[in-house]
Chain A
Amino acid sequence: MAFNVTRRKFLQTASLAAVSIPLSKVVCAETGVTKASLEPKGTMNDTTVVGGLCEMCFWRCQMVGKVRDGQLIKLEGNPKSIDNGTSICARGNAGIKLLYDVDRLKYPLKNVGKRGEPVWKRISWQEALDECGSKLKAVVDQHGPQGICVFPHGASAKYPMHYFERTVGTHNVSEASFFQCRGVRDTAYMASINEAPEEYVDMANAKVIFLVGCHFGENIHVSHTKNYIKGLQNGAKLIVADPRYSASAAKSDIWVQIKPGTDTAYLLAIMNYLVQNKKYNQEFVTNHTAGFDKFSQSIAEWTLDKAAKECEIPAAQIKEVADLLAANAPNVTIHPGRFSSWYGNDFQRGRALACLTALLGAYYVKGGWLPPKKPKLSKTSWAAEEHGNEHNLNYHNNKMHHPYAPPGTPTELIRDCAISGKPYPIKGCVVWGQNPMQTIPNQEKMKQVFKAMDFVMCVDVMPTDVTMWADILLPESSYLERYDEIKVGATYVKADDKEPTQYIAPRYPMVEPQFERKDQVYITNEIAKRMGHEKDIPVQSLEELVNKTLEASKTTLASIKAEGGIHLQPGKPAGAVPEDFMVQLFSDEIADAGFPGAPTYIPVENVPAGHARLLFGRAPVHSFSRTQNNIWLHHAMPVNPVWLNDTVAAKLGLKEGDSVGFINSEGVKSRTTTIVKVTPGIRKDCVYMYHGYGMVNPMLSICGGKGVDEQSLITKIAIDPESGVHGMRNNFVKLTKDGKTLDMPA
Chain B
Amino acid sequence: MSETSTSQDLSFFYRFLARCMQYPDPQWMNEDFFQAFFNLVDTLGATSEGQEIQNILTQSPDPIEALQIEYTRLFINGAPHVVAPPYASVYMDKSLQGAFALKTLSFYRAKGFVMEKDADLPDHLIHELEFLSLLVQENDLAGEEEFLTTLFRPWYKQFCPRVGKETRHPYYRMVVNLIDFFTTEEKKDGFQCNEA
Contact = CB atoms under 8 A, between A and B. Distances in A.
Interface of A: 1-8, 10-12, 14, 16-17, 19-28, 30-36, 39, 41-43, 68-69, 71, 97, 100-107, 109, 112, 117-122, 463, 468, 514-515, 631, 697-701, 704
B44 interface: yes
A24 B44 contact: no
Given A3-B181, A4-B45, A11-B9, A26 B116 contact: no
A118 B110 CA distance: 44
25 contacts: A3-B44, A4-B46, A7-B186, A8-B185, A19-B9, A20-B13, A22-B32, A26-B32, A27-B19, A28-B18, A28-B22, A28-B28, A31-B116, A31-B130, A33-B116, A33-B127, A34-B116, A34-B134, A35-B113, A41-B110, A100-B98, A102-B87, A120-B72, A699-B77, A701-B81
B77 A24 contact: no
Contact of B36 (A12, A26, A43, A468): A26
Given A23-B15, A33-B119, A468-B79, 14 more contacts: A1-B174, A7-B182, A7-B184, A20-B9, A20-B13, A26-B36, A31-B130, A34-B113, A34-B134, A100-B97, A121-B65, A122-B72, A463-B77, A699-B78
Contacts of A112: 65, 69
A35 B44 CA distance: 32
B106 A42 contact: yes
A701 B9 CA distance: 40
10 tightest A-B CB contacts, nearest first: A32-B119, A4-B45, A698-B80, A23-B16, A3-B44, A20-B9, A22-B36, A100-B96, A27-B15, A31-B130
Contacts of A6: 186
A604 to B, nearest CB: 39
Contacts, number: 206
B92 interface: no
A20 B39 CA distance: 10
Given A11-B9, A120-B72, A1 B19 contact: no
A31 B137 CA distance: 13
A165 B11 CA distance: 56
Contact of A16 (B9, B19, B94, B182): B9
Given A11-B9, A122-B76, A699-B80, A34 B114 contact: yes
B18 to A, nearest CB: 7
A102 B90 contact: yes
Given A19-B40, A43-B109, A100-B98, A1 B79 contact: no
A33 B185 CA distance: 24
A704 B110 contact: no
B107 to A, nearest CB: 10
Given A17-B9, A20-B9, A34-B116, A28 B15 contact: yes
B40 A23 contact: yes
Nearest to B47: A4
Given A3-B44, A25-B36, A102 B82 contact: yes
Contacts of A514: 121
Interface string B1-40: 1000110111011011011001100001000110110011
A39 B126 CA distance: 23
A39 to B, nearest CB: 6
A35 B112 contact: yes
A1 B49 contact: yes
B56 interface: no
Contact of A19 (B5, B43, B90, B124): B43
Contacts of A631: 94-95
Nearest to A704: B81
Interface in B62-97: 65, 68-69, 71-73, 76-82, 85, 87, 90, 94-97
A300 B16 CA distance: 85
Contacts of B163: none
B77 to A, nearest CB: 6
Interface string B101-123: 11001101110111110111110
A121 B82 CA distance: 12
Contacts of A17: 5, 9
A4 B181 CA distance: 11
Contacts of B113: 33-36
B18 A27 contact: yes
Contacts of A701: 81-82
A41 B112 contact: yes
B51 to A, nearest CB: 13
A22 B69 contact: no
A701 B58 CA distance: 34
Contacts of B177: 1, 3
A477 B65 CA distance: 27
Contacts of A43: 109
Contacts of A16: 1, 6, 9
A473 to B, nearest CB: 8
A697 B77 CA distance: 11
A121 B194 CA distance: 28
A103 B82 contact: yes
A102 B95 contact: yes
B131 interface: yes
A746 to B, nearest CB: 43
Contact of A1 (B1, B133, B173): B173
A116 to B, nearest CB: 11
Given A7-B186, A24-B15, A24-B16, A120 B73 contact: yes
A698 B71 contact: no
Contacts of B131: 33
A17 B43 CA distance: 12
B193 interface: yes
B6 to A, nearest CB: 6
Contact of A103 (B1, B10, B12, B81): B81
Contacts of A104: 96
Contact of B69 (A3, A12, A20, A120): A120
Contact of A109 (B72, B80, B127): B72
B79 A698 contact: yes
Contact of B114 (A11, A39, A105, A468): A39
B12 A24 contact: yes
A36 B114 CA distance: 5
B55 to A, nearest CB: 16
